[in-house]
Amino acid sequence: MPSPAAPAYLSIPDAAKPGQKGGTLVAEHVDGICEHRRLLESGDYRPSGCPLCGRFLHILDLRPRKLRDQPDSAEELICRYRCRPCGAVWQVLPGFLARHLHRTWGAVQSALVAAGTLEPTGSEWRVRRKPSTLRRFMARLGASAVVLMQALLAAKAPVEGVLEALGAWCTRGELVEGLAGAGQIEKKRKLQKFAGWIHRLAPGLRLM
Ligand SMILES: [Zn+2]
């Protein structure tokens, strides 16, 4: 049975506003809030250079991000950098933050494991879920994974065996479980690690 087509916003990378350069960089190695705060304080989040022109990036501002369903934080600061010569603005997100979902990936995974959509890993916590939010999460993870599989194949990621076993009509959730089961992504952080991977291969392409 083919999965429903993914909604367009899942398949079309975010475009910067017209006339605005820059975008989002994901610091994939940042798994936790303590590490995030340490990097903010020490200034070690600064990319080595502007991704567009390679020149030095200056801190532009720190913007608060609300985190729902998080036991140890309700809000974290996100740093934006500006390249003065070319005008590009880059925000650097820690890998654990689910960019469009107002949560950490851990909180999203916890909700989807409790709903039976993902397999438990022992790293989840209890979250209070609004039924409408959960339905939205489940629908996104139940959408076709074809665009994500194309991104993996186009980047020559060594996942052909996994994709073949899953078949062309698998859902995004099945793809995550398949990759985690094959050891391609860390099981405990399967949503976070896959979302970071996909963003690296096709910036702006969303897992959910
Ligand atoms: Zn630049």
Indicate if the pLDDT at residue 72 is higher than 60. yes
pLDDT of residue 10: 54
Task: Supply the mean pLDDT for the chain.
Answer: 90
Residue type, 47: P
Cα–Cα distance measured from residue 170 to residue 176, given in angstroms and rounded to the nearest whole number: 10
Measured in angstroms, how far is the CA atom of residue 154 from the centroid of ligand 1? 27
Pair 83, 50: CB distance under 8 Å: yes
- The model carries a pTM of 0.89
Measured in angstroms, how far is the CA atom of residue 74 from the centroid of ligand 1? 33
Measured in angstroms, how far is the CA atom of residue 90 from the centroid of ligand 1? 10
Cα–Cα distance measured from residue 197 to residue 91, given in angstroms and rounded to the nearest whole number: 17
pLDDT of residue 18: 60
pLDDT of residue 152: 97
Say which residue the tokens 């003065």 belong to.
Answer: 84
pLDDT of residue 1: 43
Cα–Cα distance measured from residue 8 to residue 50, given in angstroms and rounded to the nearest whole number: 29
Report which secondary-structure segment, H or E, holds 5.
none
For residue 99, name the pLDDT band (cuts at 50, 70, 90): confident
For residue 170, name the pLDDT band (cuts at 50, 70, 90): very high
Measured in angstroms, how far is the CA atom of residue 59 from the centroid of ligand 1? 13
φ/ψ of 97, rounded to 5, equals -90, 125
Cα–Cα distance measured from residue 152 to residue 154, given in angstroms and rounded to the nearest whole number: 6
For residue 146, name the pLDDT band (cuts at 50, 70, 90): very high
Measured in angstroms, how far is the CA atom of residue 38 from the centroid of ligand 1? 26
pLDDT in tens, 42-64: 988 999 999 999 999 999 999 99
For residue 2, name the pLDDT band (cuts at 50, 70, 90): very low
Measured in angstroms, how far is the CA atom of residue 57 from the centroid of ligand 1? 8
Indicate if the pLDDT at residue 12 is higher than 90. no
Residue 168 CB neighbour total at 10 angstroms: 12
pLDDT in tens, 158-167: 999 999 999 9
